[in-house]
Amino acid sequence: MKSLRTGICWIDDVIPEGLPLKSVTVITGPGGSGKPLIGEVFVTAWLRNGGSVIFMSLQYPGSEFITESIKSVTGLNIQDYKEKIIFLQLDTGISGYQEMNKHLIRANLVKPEVWEGVLNLASEKLPDEGPGILFFCSALNLLLFSPTYGDVIFEKIKSTIELNTNRTYLFSVSTSAKAEEISQLEKLADNLIFSHSKKDPFRLFMKVLKIGGVPYDSPETQVPISPDILSHIKEMANHSRSKVLPAILKT
C-alpha cells in the first residue's frame, strides 16, 4: 500500500490516487475554517483501514473533545479503536512528559526534545499495521507562540518534515497568525490542502493544491458537514483554545 483511498466519495473524487503514505500533509487556511475537521475525515479512514493514530490536538484540553468532534463529523466512535490510538496532551506545567495510561501521554510539547521523545515513544507503543501510523496534529501554530521555545520548536517541526521518510504526518495550521512561518511549512509539505468557510449558513470548503510534492489543481469541494455541527465544534474549539494559548504564552 503506497497510498490511502479513504472510501469516502467526496474525498476520493478530489484525490483519486489516494493520500500518499509516509508523506507530510498540511491543511492550511484562515482561523475558524474547519481545518481539523477535514483532518478528522482522513483519521477516520485511516483507522477503518487498519492503521494506528497518534493525536496531538492542541486546541483541545482533553481527549474527550477529540472523541466528540470525530463522532459528530464522521460518526466514528474512536473508542472502538482504542488499542490503535494514543493521545499526546499538552501540559506546559511539567518539564518533560508523563505516561498517564497506555493511551494518554501528557507532555510539554513546546520543548523540541520532548516533541521528538514522545513521538518516538508513542510510535513504539502502537501496532504498525495496514497503512501504518498516522501522526495527526491540529492547531500546530499554537506552539509557535511560546516566548521561550517558539523559534526552536518551529525549527524542530521543519526538520521533522524535511527529514521524514518513514511516517505519515497530517498537520492543520492557521494562516491568521505566524503567516511567514506557516508559509514555510506549506512549501515543505508533500501534500497541501486549503480550507475556508462561508457564513449564512456556515459552510466548509476545501481545495487540494499539492500532492506528492507536485502542484495539483483540484476543484473546490464543499465538505458535507452540517452548519449546526460546524458551529458547535467551532465554539468548542474556541473555548478550549482560550485556555490553551495563555498557558503557552507563559512558557
- Predicted local confidence at residue 239, as pLDDT: 60
What's the rounded Cα separation, in Å, for the pair 77 and 54? Answer: 16
Which residue is listed with cell 479503536? Answer: 81
pLDDT at 62 over 80: no
Does residue 4 sit within a domain?
no
Does residue 234 sit within a domain?
yes
Query: Which residue in 76, 53, 52, 68 sits closest to 240, CA to CA?
Result: 68
- Tally of structural domains, the chain: 1
- Predicted local confidence at residue 241, as pLDDT: 67
What's the rounded Cα separation, in Å, for the pair 153 and 73? Answer: 30
Does residue 55 sit within a domain?
yes
Mean pLDDT of the chain: 90
Read off the pTM.
0.92
Q: The CATH number of the domain where 245 resides is what?
A: 3.40.50.300
Does residue 12 sit within a domain?
no
CB atoms < 10 A from the CB of 99, how many?
Answer: 15
Does residue 50 sit within a domain?
yes
Does residue 113 sit within a domain?
yes
Q: Where are the beta strands (DSSP E) in 17-165?
A: 19-20, 24-29, 52-57, 85-90, 97-101, 104-107, 133-138
DSSP H helices in 81-226: 112-125, 150-162, 179-188
pLDDT at 216 over 60: yes
Question: Residue 66: how many CA atoms within 13 Å on its side-chain side?
Answer: 30
Instruction: State which residues form the domain around 244.
Output: 23-177+187-249
Instruction: Please check whether residue 43 is in contact with residue 135, taking contact to mean a CB–CB distance below 8 angstroms.
Output: no
Does residue 13 sit within a domain?
no
Calculate what percentage of the chain has a pLDDT beyond 90: 61
The mean pLDDT value for 221-238 works out to 81
